[in-house]
Structure 1
């Protein structure tokens, strides 16, 4: 599965040359597979998120990760408590 993810990430610029947003979805699928099946990629991703937390939130949201859901719930609770 990891090698399939690598293949999709490498394939994404080629698919991106075709009109439409296809390359972005191919890259996201490949990155998701790599992130799920490789500890090295996970460590790099954690370092990326620490350095650029705003971009990490977008990636979490795009991959539908549990951390993105927790942040959204926490944000909703905070906004409810502020409005009271």
Structure 2
């Protein structure tokens, strides 16, 4: 995790949880709004909660294909390094 102020991290975590809850409320409405709210909330929660990061790492081991897509969508450094390494690897 980064060296952000603890209050800032707590506010971002609360906003992420709020977005995930709002996605459940907006989800039944027509249009893809719930998907974007959920994705934004997930990003904020994963960047600010060690508990969520551990759970996400376990889920990635169980479903590596989906985990890789989420990593790339979040532009995580580990995914960018892995993608660059895979490009250099001979087939």
**Structure 1 residue 17: Cα displacement:** 2.1
- Structure 2 stretches of 5 or more lacking a match? 1-11
Give TM-score, length-normalised by structure 2. 0.77
Q: Which runs of 4+ in 1 moved over 3 A?
A: none
Give TM-score, length-normalised by structure 1. 0.83
**Structure 1 residue 30: Cα displacement:** 0.4
The 1-side partners of 2:87 and 2:34 are apart by 33
The 2-side partners of 1:73 and 1:49 are apart by 19
Is residue 10 of structure 1 aligned with residue 9 of structure 2?
no
Q: Which residue of 1 aligns with 2:79?
A: 68
The total of aligned residue pairs comes to: 80
Q: Provide the aligned C-alpha RMSD in A.
A: 1.4
Q: Deviation per CA, 1:26-75, whole angstroms, max 9, x where unpaired?
A: 00110111111111111111111112111110110121111221122122
Is residue 45 of structure 1 aligned with residue 38 of structure 2?
no
The 1-side partners of 2:75 and 2:33 are apart by 19
